[in-house]
Amino acid sequence: MPGKFDNDFGMVSIDDGVIATIAGLSAMECYGIVGMANKNATEGLFELVKWENLSKGVKVHTKENNITIDLHVILQYGVKISVVAGNIIEKVKYNVENLTGLKIEKINVHVQGIRVQK
């Protein structure tokens, strides 16, 4: 499990939810993002997630020593999607690896919607 490692004092275990929260908060720091998106089970549509539930728009997959993060985001109208997605990937990768000491294999950004901000 990639979220587990030993040191001289014992074992450290990092839950996938912690990684998801770090990833969600990191993504929200990027210019052009309105918020994280979560699929509404009843309607099958993606909706904007509130700040306290940011990790619901993030899926963390751990397999052996590989961590893959899927971010479901809603972007601001008028931004260049490829540039914002690239910034999100860089920011999330840097923060997760720096704060946890874990290595990220892949980060996927899924743009679920565009919003016009007032």
List of domains in the chain: 4-115 (3.30.70.1350)
Say whether pLDDT at 102 is over 80. Answer: yes
55-71 confidence digits (pLDDT tens):
888 999 988 778 999 99
Q: Report the distance separating Cα 28 and Cα 36, nearest Å.
A: 8
Contact indicator for 26, 16 with CB cutoff of 8 Å: no
CB atoms closer than 10 angstroms to residue 64 = 8
The mean per-residue pLDDT over the stretch 93-108 comes to: 94
Say whether pLDDT at 5 is over 80. Answer: no
The mean per-residue pLDDT over the stretch 81-103 comes to: 96
Contact indicator for 112, 72 with CB cutoff of 8 Å: yes
